[in-house]
Amino acid sequence: MTTALDRARRLADDILFPAADQVDRSGQLPVAQLDQIVEEGLYGLVGPAELGGVGADRATQLEIIETLASGCLTTCFVWLQHQNAVGLAAGCDGELHAKWAAPLARGQVKAGVAFAHLLRPEVVISAEPANPGDPSQGWILNGTAPWVTGWGYIDIVSTAARCNVAYTDDGKIDDPGEVRWLFVDAVASRTLQVRPLELSAVNSSATYAVEFIDHHVAADRLVLTEPYRRWRSNYDKGLRVNASLALGLSRRCGLLLDEAGVDHHFQSELDALRHRLDQTSVEEMPKARADLSTLAVRMTAALVAATGGRSVMLDQTGQRLAREAIFLLIQGQTADIKRHQIEGLARPGLA
């Protein structure tokens, strides 16, 4: 009986990687790629086994993300967004758990996520009661989610909105309030308007900006309300997860450098960074993340150089990986990660 990690490795090497360049050029992610992850029982990575999820420990989860990212970053990126909803639904009880937990864990319902805006200092998406005197009337969303990945492939968007924010007299946030998580149907309408984004990498991920204009969401779609400060603390503790994307891309790049006969020492750097990421404190994680993303840029640049003139052709893997490495500089980027990246790339003597 194969393990989940065995299945992920086979999927990455035999199916995802051979098709990755074509997926990148096509502008569309084949539904069959996502269906294959479902068939392998990997779609609900963070879901418990009894619900149809992977049921793996954290170390195995991180290795599966890294493995799938080494196959096709676009496919992995769309799939990874789904995990937020899986975790939220698994943590619910009652009717919410009964309705959502198993279908999300099995990949029968697919989800995207809208929460990157929570890192901005201002309130970007708000959620207010449709009727303050009657919570059963649901919620009204206003604002724009700048990044929602997988549009057209997903059924719901796990949407984070702010509420109960208090301001000082000069308009600054005094109390950051709470975050409301709502499962919003991924269906465009007069009150939910979408705009595709043209990305220099993972463009086939169908990433859209989604605008909510007095958009009504039923009361039973409110999955969780949590203090903003708690959310931010948990986000900082979870920065290791996105690092697996850059680890996977770098792993593939190292294999291609080996195939090209390039003498390099990247593998030892990569292994040391992986160990550091697994062991480091929350306070030191931004520096480790920055060092990893800049290593990915260096590795892909080396691959492009080794490939020579043909590497600038769009059917070449090197240029795709290089674009994806640049994308991963800003994916999941915080202010601290950005500062360390600039020091490492623009002012390396300070790194």
* pLDDT value of residue 315: 87
Does some domain include residue 178? yes
Whether residues 63 and 18 share a domain: the answer is yes
Whether residues 217 and 325 share a domain: the answer is no
Whether residues 172 and 209 share a domain: the answer is yes
Whether residues 42 and 99 share a domain: the answer is yes
Whether residues 344 and 293 share a domain: the answer is yes
How many structural domains are present in the chain?
3
Domain boundary among 173, 196, 227: 227
Does some domain include residue 62? yes
Domain boundary among 82, 106, 130: 106
Whether residues 169 and 253 share a domain: the answer is no
Tell me the CATH number at 24.
Answer: 1.10.540.10
Does some domain include residue 232? no
Whether residues 245 and 217 share a domain: the answer is no
Pairwise CA distance, residues 4 & 112, whole Å: 23
Domain boundary among 54, 80, 106: 106
Whether residues 200 and 136 share a domain: the answer is yes
Whether residues 338 and 264 share a domain: the answer is yes
Whether residues 330 and 251 share a domain: the answer is yes
Whether residues 117 and 181 share a domain: the answer is yes
Tell me the CATH number at 119.
Answer: 2.40.110.10
Does some domain include residue 334? yes
Average pLDDT by consecutive 10-residue portion of the chain (351 residues)? 91 97 94 95 96 95 98 98 97 94 98 95 94 92 97 98 90 89 98 97 97 97 96 94 97 96 94 96 96 96 93 91 97 94 80 49
Whether residues 248 and 334 share a domain: the answer is yes
Tell me the CATH number at 318.
Answer: 1.20.140.10
Does some domain include residue 312? yes
- Domain hosting 28: range is 4-106
* pLDDT value of residue 1: 58
